[in-house]
Structure 1
Amino acid sequence: MRKYEKVVNEMKTTVHIISHSHWDREWYMAFEKHRMKLVELLDTASDLLENNENYRSFHMDGHTAAYDDYLEIKPEQKERIKKLVQEGKLTAGPWYVLQDEFLTSGEACVRNLLTGRKEALKLGKLCPIGYFPDAFGNAGQMPQVLAQAGMEAVAFGRGVKSIGFNNETLEKGTYETAYSEINWQSPDGSTLLGILFPNWYNNGMEIPVEPEEAKKFWDKKLADVRQYAGTSQLLFMNGCDHQPVQKDLPQAIETAKKLYPEIEFIHSDFETYVKAVKEELGENISVVKGELTSQETDGRFTLVNTASNRIDLKQLNRKGETALERKAEPAAVLAGLEGKKYPKELLEYSWKVLMQNHPHDSICSCNVDEVNDEVAIRFVKSRQVAEQLCKESMEYLTEQIDTSNLNSENGKVLPFAVYNFTGWNKTDVVSAVLDVDRCFENIQEKAYWEMQNIKLPVFVLKDAEGNIVDAKIEDMGTAFDYLLPDDKFRQPYMARQVRVTFEAKEVPAMGYRVYHLQEAEAKQADDTKTLITGSNTMENENIRVEIHEDGSYTLTNLKTGRVYSHIGYYEETGDIGNEYIYVQDTNGQAITTQNKPAKITLAEDTPFCAKYHICQSIEVPESAAKELEIAQKSFQECYNRHIGRSDKMVELAIETELTLEKSSKSLKIQTTIHNTAKDHRVRVVIPTGLAADTHFADSAFEVVERNNRHSKQWENPSGCDRQQSFVAMQDEKDGMLIANHGLYEYEVLPDMENAIAVTLLRCVGELGDWGYFPTPKAQMQGTYTLSYEILPFADGERLDVYTLGYQFQNELMAVPTGIHTGVNPQEKGFFNWTGEGVNFSGLKQQENGSDIMVRFINVTELPREIEIQKQSWMEKMYKSNVIEEEKEGLEVREDGMYHVVLKPFEILTLGIR
């Protein structure tokens, strides 16, 4: 490893000053208030760039959303902005927004990159530098994603410990670096030059013009940067959060040149700086591998607890991502194969509205309440479009199905199709609401009673082969609805409806199966079948669940005999932190539901499903002690607070619904919390008893293995981590996976039987950071329902349960239809593939073309092969990348399959023409 002093002696020092403003679209002020400042910023920067030849560049924070926001106010400035971008004076992209990397999905990351790239190129030039100045840690697969996108380097601020040149004892592959220049390597081996901001991205802000002040400034700042720089190219970031343009920067640079004639000072940009670094950089810089989450630091800088505040917004994000990437896009692709136009513009709009919530402050909910209010509205707006697109695509597909053999000569027949867009065959309980009859005339009171007085026939459920399927069929009464024909005025009607609920088995991946209700002379299903095997006990062929008097439960894996005792209890603790940081109150006492009586009720007992309802309540302090308000207003650092909890107690009511389905390998849980307290956190605790030192967590395009215990340097009293779809742990014989819907924070508790604690609710009263910003809505008063599932597994089954964990994110969907002819059979899969250890990630149409793009992720350390069955619609298949360029073509083998080998941890995108 080269010494910095040697570099100084060999080459002249060059100081690269990059002007920028880290532009959070919203944060401590609402979006529109920030936008007013953005308009001012870009007007000023544009004037300087046009009229002052010595002010040569401004870095617009690595995202194009800022230009959208600006041009919406000043559309007449578009040509001016384009000219400045084309000349390299303003930078654009590569991102649409500066997203958080752990709370947004891998597919959302790719859409972010595709959108930012597209908009930057429309403006005239793409900045080829990945940029994460303030991301709260960095996901391990980002070098691979950015390398596939052709980026030259990546700049970031958090997640790595900078140790400077007083400590040269680095071990290869640690989370430490002696240099601000590193090689950041993804698990697959993809490596990208990383530029760390060890002195933060404001180390060159407000540079003095007056010589005396400038001398003090530069003496200190040069020493600070030289402590970490591995070359003679020194980086100074001239800006900070929402920093106005420094108009007198050219004069400040002239002052610096006179003070330090031996140093070259230039008003630079990232491309110039990175090129100079690469030309000089030696071989022996640090290699930092995988995710950057402050593992070898005190653990406070990556702000992991932003994963658990405003859990309602986190759930909305997961719903929004699922609605787009796991429903609307694949449904539109399949409908497109049958002739329906792919709704590219509407999907792009829905994605952009969703991604406007993905900047690190927005998605991390570390904002004032009025920002979080707008975030919630955007989530709903985006999902409305996605859900409607999915509905229209499924209806179109359903119209192509031949149901003509389901004649109604022997009574009423009500067909419907069940769709599966998860990427694998799926078995799950699904419900469909079907119209037995409709009345389009006199739809006010008369039509209602006409429908309501219909005597419903006895129905049985049958599958596509005519086999009777166990089902629960309920009379739903009469409901109003309407049709919106393409060529007619709206058509309102009253309908008499029934709801059928059943277990749909092995619905084809990226496909459907038709079922139908048929009128019968008598009920033919056997209602005596049950999953209830004793008092407060239920089981299927895979697992047994026994519920205890305190509401906890024991889960037995019937395949292995492994028993997980008294799991699923709730823990409540005080929280005197803020939206960024969890800090337990000084007393440090946890209140749990253990050994407290619960009310247990059998809620459902059918041949295909059993369900228990559990009611519990605990007495908890109403809030933190009153000293917390003073600490907040006086801006006391939250780690230094010594504050207890209120003496006043309130009731915290918790309802739990445990569901076991006939063919399932998992126990599904819904927890509803009626929150009456403030300044606290509620978690579900699941002791695993597994003899393991590590665990696995789903992340963006990766299942990462993490240590159960943090490093010795870890000082943060919170040991929480972030997850996407699931967290899992395994010993030599058994394992357990816990999947979730929008619950991004968990903690492994090694001293409590290796328990996995999943955060369900975290309630705080202030934003935190640099001032006092109260956030009363972040106290989460009200009722919240959280969903998760527990999957026990045996040695060798971990990769299989990963699939089930991913599938938990996306339910089967049912679409009613009529009896008609069609070109498709009553069961069909449009995309059939196999491959162990590989995650099916996305199916969409090409960004700038009509090819179909499909993405797979090898989540293991071994090469994995996938086989894709050639379908009639597949003319050509080729390897691509995340920006959807056509690469190497693939050939079909004699067995009618495309065979593709994925390297360890590879993100593989395929194009299909």
Structure 2
Amino acid sequence: MDEVFKALEKQQVDYYLLDGQMSILEDYLDAYPEKKFELTKWVQTGRLFIGPWYTQTDELIVTGESIIRNLSLGMNLAKKLGGSQKIGYLPDSFGQGADMPKIYNGMDIHDAVFWRGLSADKTKSREFNWKSEDDSEVTVANIKDGYFVGVGLIYDDNATEVIETVVDGATIDDIVLPVGGDQRYVDYDLKERISFYNQQLMDKDTYLFESNYPKLFEDIEQYKNTLDNVSGEFISGSVSKIHRSIYSSRYDQKYLNDKVERRMIYQLEPLMAMADRVGIPYKKSLLDKIWKLIVRNQAHDSAGGCNSDKTNQIILERLREADQLSYSAVDYLTRKISESEKNKQSNDLTFFNTLPFPIQKDIEFKVSLKEKNFELFYENSKIPVDIWNVTKKYHGQIKRDESQYLDDDYYYVYDCSAQITIPALQWITLNIKPITDKTIEIVPAKDCDQIQDSHYQIKFHDGQLALLNLQTGKTIDNFLSIVDDGDEGDTYDYSPAYDNQVLDLNFSDSQVSCECGNLRQQLKIKGIWDLPKNLSERSLNQKTVQINYELQLVLDDSGLVKTHLLIDNQAEDHRMRVVIKSNTQLNNYSYSDTQFGYIKRPVVDPHLHDWQEIGWNEEPTAIFPMIHYANLHADGGSTTVYSKGIKEYQIDGQQFDRIALTLFRSVGFLGRPDLIRRPGVASGNQFTYIPTPDSQLKEQLHFKFAIGFDEKFNPVQAMETFQTYATSNPYYQVQTLNQFTNTLKYFVMHELDDQIESHPFFEIMTDNLIFSSLTESEDKSGWLVRIYNPNKFICDGNNVLILNKPCITSLTDFTGKIVKNLGEQRKVSMESFKPGEIKTIKINK
């Protein structure tokens, strides 16, 4: 940085672009606060370009709200230092998401720069208009040969050859020659090299001069009407490596990132708004602190997990800190509200719904009581409860000699579940009535082989699971299975082993039990799989490693098969997938959610068999990213798999009737050369092997996903189902026996000065739109509610929200800047939603 300032001061360079991300500047100024004046000077004079990102985001496996927060954090920080360049600058992200034009336009960004992912099948031009289905649009400068291609200007004296490389594919006269590179110093001799090139190019009708991206796009604007119009995502390996199987590297990080994202968007932010309405001030600075920790891990390589072990350890620590901070904040608010409620009684049990639509679901919770039995009531109506386990606990002072413990210092913790109904963005309080004359009955575990609810019957037989759909009468045999194969790839890409062995892992020789409650039935399978220890054993057909697993399937009348798989991985260099058989066959396309919609993809890439002949950089295996769900549908049925942290799928089977989710990959190197799927030089570092033993993931791994079988695919229903399934409902019991129910229970807390009650806030009333986020506006004058239309058709904008009372409402951009006043409304209406359109509604306080 000091050298950049020096070069600007001495006019050795006219302009300098600082990588498009602000996190490095935040770190720099944290270490050297005295440099803020000089930094700001160069930004304000238009010679140093910063922003708009906090970190250069991944675009394919992180949520749309995370990307918006990333831009907001970056642009707000840049604003304090002289202002952000409004360029969607992502020169190295491993693919471009289809919804990025919407996101950019929502942040008042209308130009974009990227390198990877564009296929000649979409356009052969370097400059084009990138459009979304809602008519959002950005002008793109695609640097096909990389952000470092201009380094040839510094080191290569053959000007003609360098310029021919740069001009290839350009359709206009103003062409970008980026002189960049990872961790590259400023080039002090840039002016001399430009002069040297211009002397060689005098008769080539080409002239080089120093410039910047804002100026470039001003010049491109004159050609805008002549540029190609392109839409969709860019995840092709035709012009650069795209790493289309990086979505399964370092599953442990992806799982934790997904968990924290969901908690922030669907739990903590709405809960803060609910709390603010009863007197607990909204804490945006805390949210920003947590979001910074999260988005620091969402840069393309950080999200991908293609890092050294030391870097990945730092990423995990940041995610763990974000997990603890967000979890503690939820605990604090639920406790503060519960203990401040009007007419509060001991043992009251309060449940929260942080989504803007009512929920009715089977919720797991714990109750702590002195008594050996209890009943649960809501407004004098008894709520049926399933008790799955009871643990006797001691709450006196611990002593070395436990025989000194008094009987009166023991209590019971009940693991329960019950079907709870909660209105939109509200909480309800249930009353616990202790019973002293009758011991509680625990749902017994039985040696049986099937479970059932009103939707499905699941039966275990001969090591396989069969599912009977009670709505259609059709059975799917072996509907869920596990497949393991060798992985001779690296942290960037899966690649099958040269001497491979694919293993179909069934559930033979396992322990099977069932627990059948009033509302929930669950089937548990415990067993051991024998696997090759490493690639050497796999090539010799040896299996010396035993991997313990536990699979739990739950039916609870939700219309889903809820699944929790626990694996103790002790093998190396392998990939494990769960394969779900769908209720359709001969599918030509798969579907998965994007940040603000869904996308259709072919189950077989058209260039799968000629990719090497046409010069692509990696095999276009139909391995795809997913954020929350993957789907197969055709006439006669639809199968959707919802995931908590699994980010990769592929359509499998001879009939293309199976959705294969990559659970995890175990690999031992950052980069490897000459992979079957990616021949040639190693990624990451071409000159040395960098071992990553931590990326073998030899540890206990949890996988949570759910499966739904429907008659038709509905993207609104799919996302609402995911939100209901994947959003935990916070709860709190008013009691003093158990001081460790959450992270803050042990510590004392004041009640609010005034007693409070739950009141309606607002509710989404349409069946065609999806909730995205609820936050406070920057000026604290209102609430920003973001909703979107995931459909491919126009949706009505009438009566979208119903408020608890009439309020001044308006439409804003993503930052909260008002773009249209809607007036005072209780039933909030606006113009119709275009296909895929996102709208942010401000509700004045």
Which residue in 2 is equivalent to 1:832? Answer: 763
Distance, in Å, in 1 between the alignment partners of 2:490 and 2:521 is 40
Q: Are positions 1:429 and 2:371 aligned together?
A: no
CA, structure 1 residues 790+600, in 2 after alignment: closer, same or farther (shift >3 Å)?
farther
Change (3 A) 1:157 1:863: same
Distance 1:871 1:839, change over 3 A: closer
Partner of 1:118: 76
User: How much has 1:522 moved relative to structure 2?
Assistant: 5.7
| Unmatched tracts of structure 1, length 5 or more | 1-41, 163-174, 407-412, 437-453, 483-492, 627-643
| 1:580 partnered with 2:492 | yes
Q: Output one character per residue of 1:231-251: Cα deviation in whole Å (capped at 9) or x when no partner.
A: 111211111111111111011
Partner of 1:38: none
> Does 2:407 align with 1:511?
no
Alignment of 1:500-649 (within 5 A): 500-520=415-435, 535-550=448-463, 552-594=464-506, 597-625=508-536, 645=539, 647-649=541-543
* Per-residue deviation, 1:620: 2.4
Q: Which amino acid aligns with 2:814?
A: V
> Paired residue for 2:207?
264
Partner of 2:594: 699
Q: Where does residue 614 of structure 2 map in the other structure? A: none
Greater mean alpha carbon deviation, residues 843-852 or residues 381-390: 843-852
Structure 1 position 333 matched with structure 2 position 273: yes
Q: CA deviation at 1:877?
A: 1.4
Task: Measure the CA separation in 1 of the matches of 2:637 and 2:169.
Answer: 46
SS in 2 for 1:379: helix
Map 1:13-28 → 2, pairs under 5 A: none
Partner of 2:2: 43
Aligned to 1:877: 809
The one-letter code sitting in structure 1 at the alignment partner of 2:423 is: P
Which residue of structure 1 lines up, in the alignment, with residue 328 of structure 2? 388
- 1:300, 1:245 → 2: CA distance? 25
C-alpha deviation, 1:797, in angstroms = 5.5
Residues 410-809 of structure 1 aligned to structure 2 (within 5 Å): 414-436=347-369, 456-472=371-387, 475-478=390-393, 496-520=411-435, 535-550=448-463, 552-594=464-506, 597-625=508-536, 645=539, 647-691=541-585, 692-712=587-607, 715=611, 716=619, 718-749=621-652, 751-768=654-671, 769=683, 770-771=685-686, 772-795=689-712, 799-809=716-726
Letter in 1 for 2:519: F
The answer as to whether partners of 2:521 and 2:554 remain within 8 angstroms in 1 is: yes
Aligned mate of 1:290, from 232, 252, 255: 232
* CA shift digits 1:72-97 (9 cap, x unpaired): 22111011101111111111111111
What corresponds to 1:77 in structure 2? 35
2:148 to 193, 202, 207: 202
- Which residue of 2 is the match for residue 185 of structure 1? 131
Structure 1 residues 798, 271: CA separation in 2 closer, same or farther (over 3 Å shift)? closer
Per-residue deviation, residues 424-463 of structure 1 (Å, max 9, x unmatched): 3223333333443xxxxxxxxxxxxxxxxx6x25311112
Q: In 1, distance between residues paired with 2:61 and 2:818?
A: 30
Instruction: For residue 698 of structure 1, report the CA deviation from its aligned partner.
Output: 1.4
Supply the distance in 2 between the matched residues of 1:878 and 1:75 (Cα, whole angstroms): 40
Task: Work out the CA distance in 2 between the residues paired with 1:662 and 1:785.
Answer: 21
Give the alignment's TM-score, normalised by structure 2: 0.89
- Residue 728 of structure 1 and its aligned partner are, at CA, apart by 1.3
Matched residue, 2:615? none
Partner of 2:181: 240
Give the match's secondary structure for 1:467.
strand
Q: Is the 8 A contact 1:474 1:500 kept in 2?
A: yes
Deviation at 1:863, TM superposition (A): 1.7
1:403/1:705 CA distance change after superposition, 3 Å: farther
1:84-99 matched pairs, under 5 angstroms? 84-99=42-57
User: Is 2:425–2:761's contact at 8 Å kept on the other side of the alignment?
Assistant: yes
Alignment of 1:121-200 (within 5 A): 121-162=79-120, 175-200=121-146
Q: In 1, distance between residues paired with 2:207 and 2:153? A: 16
Please tell me the residue identity of whatever aligns with 2:226. N
Choose 674-683 or 321-330, whichever is displaced more.
Answer: 321-330
Unaligned runs of 5+ in 2: 398-407, 612-618, 672-682, 737-750
Give the partner amino acid of 2:627: Q
Secondary structure of 1:76's counterpart equals: helix
| The 10-residue stretch of structure 1 (132-141 or 259-268) with the greater mean CA deviation from structure 2 | 259-268
Q: What corresponds to 2:842 in structure 1?
A: 911
C-alpha separation in 1, matches of 2:505 and 2:239:
30
Instruction: Show CA shifts across 1:317-361 (max 9, x none).
Output: 011112211221111111011121111111111111111111111
| Deviation digits for residues 335-392 of structure 1 (CA, Å, limit 9, x no counterpart) | 0111211111111111111111111111111000000001100001112211122222
> Retained in 2: the 8 A contact 1:429–1:503?
yes
SS in 1 for 2:279: coil
Tell me which amino acid in the other structure corresponds to 1:199: D
1:574/1:86 Cα in 2 relative to 1: closer, same or farther (>3 Å)?
Answer: same
User: Which amino acid counterpart does residue 525 of structure 2 have in structure 1?
Assistant: I
Q: Which residue of 2 aligns with 1:810?
A: 727
Task: Evaluate the alpha carbon distance shift between residue 479 and residue 160 of structure 1 in structure 2; reply closer, same or farther with a 3 A threshold.
Answer: farther
d(CA) in 2 for partners of 1:845, 1:679: 47
Cα pair 1:583 1:718 within 8 Å, conserved: no
Structure 1 residue 798, shift from structure 2 partner: 5.7
CA distance in 1, matches of 2:426, 2:394: 30
- Contact persistence 2:167–2:175 (CA under 8 A): yes
Name the CA distance, whole Å, in 2 between partners of 1:481 and 1:720. 55
Q: What is the CA–CA distance in structure 1 between the aligned matches of 2:505 and 2:5, rounded to whole Å?
A: 61
Report the CA distance between 1:418 and its aligned residue.
Answer: 0.9
- Corresponding residue SS for 1:888: strand
- TM-score normalised to structure 1 length: 0.82
- State the distance in 1 between where 2:713 and 2:764 align: 21
State the one-letter code of the partner of 2:732. V
**Contact 2:451/2:523 (<8 A) preserved:** no
Q: Secondary structure at the match of 1:234?
A: coil
Tell me the SS of whatever aligns to 2:257.
helix
Q: Distance in 2 between matches of 1:369 and 1:46?
A: 33
The 3 A distance-change label for structure 1 pair 853 and 348 is same
- Does the residue aligned with 2:322 lie in a helix, a strand or coil? helix
1:5-40 Cα deviation digits (max 9, x unpaired): xxxxxxxxxxxxxxxxxxxxxxxxxxxxxxxxxxxx
Mapped partners of 2:513, 2:604: distance in 1: 39
How far is the alpha carbon of 1:617 from its aligned partner? 3.0
Checking the alignment, whether the CA contact within 8 Å between 2:153 and 2:162 is kept in structure 1 is: no
The alignment partner of 2:819 has SS state of coil
Aligned residues: 793
Per the TM alignment, residue 307 of structure 1 is displaced from its structure 2 partner at its CA by 0.8
Report the 3-state secondary structure (helix = DSSP H, G, I; strand = E; otherwise coil) of the residue aligned with 2:16.
Answer: coil
SS of the counterpart of 2:786? strand
Distance 1:472 1:526, change over 3 A: closer
How far off is 1:674 after superposition? 1.7
